[in-house]
Amino acid sequence: MAKAATALKRNGFAVVERAVSPEAADELRCEIEELRDQKLMYKNATHVVSREGTKQYLEKSMIFEWDSMHPGWQASTSTIPNLNAIHKDLTLCNGISKTIEELELTSQTLKMQYNAGLGGCFPIHFDTDAGLDARAVTAILYLNKHWKPGDGGEIVLYPWPQEIVKIEPRSERMVMFSSANMPHRVMPSAVQRYCLTLWLSKARSNPDSGKETEKKAVQEVLRGGDKPSADTMLQPACRRLLSKMMLSEEWSRSIEEAHEPGVARDMALHNHFHNVNVLAKIFKKSLPALHEENYLRELRARARGHLLWF
């Protein structure tokens, strides 16, 4: 675990092969199938709010979930003993905290996911905001015994300004990454896909820290003129904003791929493009430099092993 935690701190993500035995993976997948067959799992959905305050419910029609925060969780645990044991086992929290001491991980929540295939996927997103809640590390365990190239469902990480990382959802493989600072998505899956997610949380969060840190980061960029220093541009709060702007086209395509056409999807796309336009105005002075290969090369060189993720 120390090796994986070191990679997580350095790169913002880590991949652990054979995180569980093949037998354990089979048992976990069977328990998710039991939840599915009992029709306990619900469709993944998010609330989208327009600039005027109108709310829409945006579903992913092929993604079904069950989680340890659901009111019916306790009643279901007798049929999913292995999943419940993972939920209660803080070994991963403790192991990561020993290496990344500043995290002080103390609790976790568990989500089970069944992707019915037929193109089921997720758009690019962050799992949380720094000031929203205490989640710090996302750990996804894949349970797809017969996955093969062409089946889809890969997770894609976007550690901007570094290269995109695509990871196959092979059984027994665990992928961990920064919940607040690693943009990621799930590619369309052509086949049924199973996984479980652990969100590892710190002891506490500061609800005001996210916006205040973001404000300070933007102010530093503006003071930097046409070409702010690499250290200024690579602050976590700044990278969150810049990644959304620099990945704008791929981000919008991922929203379209993950949701059925309709009012809710249109609202999500409208919000996305509005936010990108606002960011383009904020970073107006430095935007030309962000499209210069030499400047991007400088950012990437500085980013290697020096980014803060937590």
Q: Under DSSP, is residue 113 helix (H, G, I), strand (E, B) or coil? A: strand
Specify the length of the chain in residues. 310
**Could you read off the pLDDT tens digit of each residue along the chain, which spans 310 residues?**
899 999 999 999 999 999 999 999 999 999 999 999 999 999 999 999 988 889 999 999 899 999 999 999 999 999 999 999 999 999 999 999 999 988 999 999 999 999 999 999 999 999 998 778 899 999 999 999 999 999 999 999 999 999 999 999 999 999 999 999 999 999 999 999 999 999 999 987 666 567 788 889 899 999 999 999 999 999 999 999 999 999 999 999 999 999 999 999 999 999 999 999 999 999 999 999 999 999 999 999 999 878 999 9
How is residue 143 written in tokens? 């349970």
* Torsion region of 144: left, alpha or beta (phi above 0 gives left; psi -120 to 50 gives alpha): beta
**Distance between the two ends of the chain, CA-based, in angstroms?**
18
pLDDT for 203 equals 85
Q: How far apart are CA 253 and CA 118, in angstroms?
A: 17
Reported pTM: 0.95
pLDDT for 173 equals 98
Q: What is the pLDDT of residues 160-189, one digit of tens each?
A: 999 999 999 999 999 999 999 999 999 999
